[in-house]
Structure 1
Amino acid sequence: MGQKVDVGHVKEVIHELYNSLAERPEQSARLLDILDVLAQVYKKIDQEEYPEYLVDRLVKYIYAVGFNNKSRFLGQDGKLLVELSDVAKKAGLNSRYRADYSDKSQFYGFFEEFPRR
């Protein structure tokens, strides 16, 4: 599969991005959804056999939801997203084709309850 993903570093980046987004003055429902998904990925990434696939879905989700809601990821937020995108590139072409990237439920198991906003 190539280089192994440094899960510890990915978790640090996710944690930093979460904290940065949580400090934003405007806390729209979509931003809160992004925060929920970041927290969920942070919890689950240790159990993933191929964490790059999960990170790929995360990055696509953040960009899709952010674009649809005219959220901008500038400065440090943008740099952190680029770091996550670099990890997501390792997933190659094996990502979900024609999927609904803005669907929050893709990060939760069938029997897991997820926050609805």
Structure 2
Amino acid sequence: MTGSASYPAEFFTAAGHSNIILLALDAHDIDDYDISAHFPVALNFIHKSLQAGDGAILVHCAAGVSRSALITAAYLMIAHQISAVDAVLRVHQARPCACPNIGFLRQLLLFERTGFKLT
């Protein structure tokens, strides 16, 4: 979830981690960026990744504060049928520095109001 391709797939395979599947999404940490446009692909990828193999996934962005926290919260909302507030609190409990920007939080609330509808 970065503004650029920080880690090309070759980074992992060269380090001997050929079993890593990488999904890189070009997302920008600015209030008016439509991060919800990434929900269908990102949330599906998280779901499939958790169902396969050892069921582990790393969602990250540049600092692990806004973009990755928001995507993780959106996934928790669907997976556990919880509110946006509860999802953000769960993410914050696991990562205290997590703090999605205000525009992202608005999109998360809209996601909740639309019944977790993926566009």
TM bucket normalised to smaller: 0.3 to 0.5
**Greater RCO, 1 or 2 (C-alpha within 8 Å, sep 6+):** 1
The structure whose Rg is larger is 2
After TM superposition, the score normalised by the length of structure 2 is 0.36
After TM superposition, the score normalised by the length of structure 1 is 0.37
Greater share of helix: 1
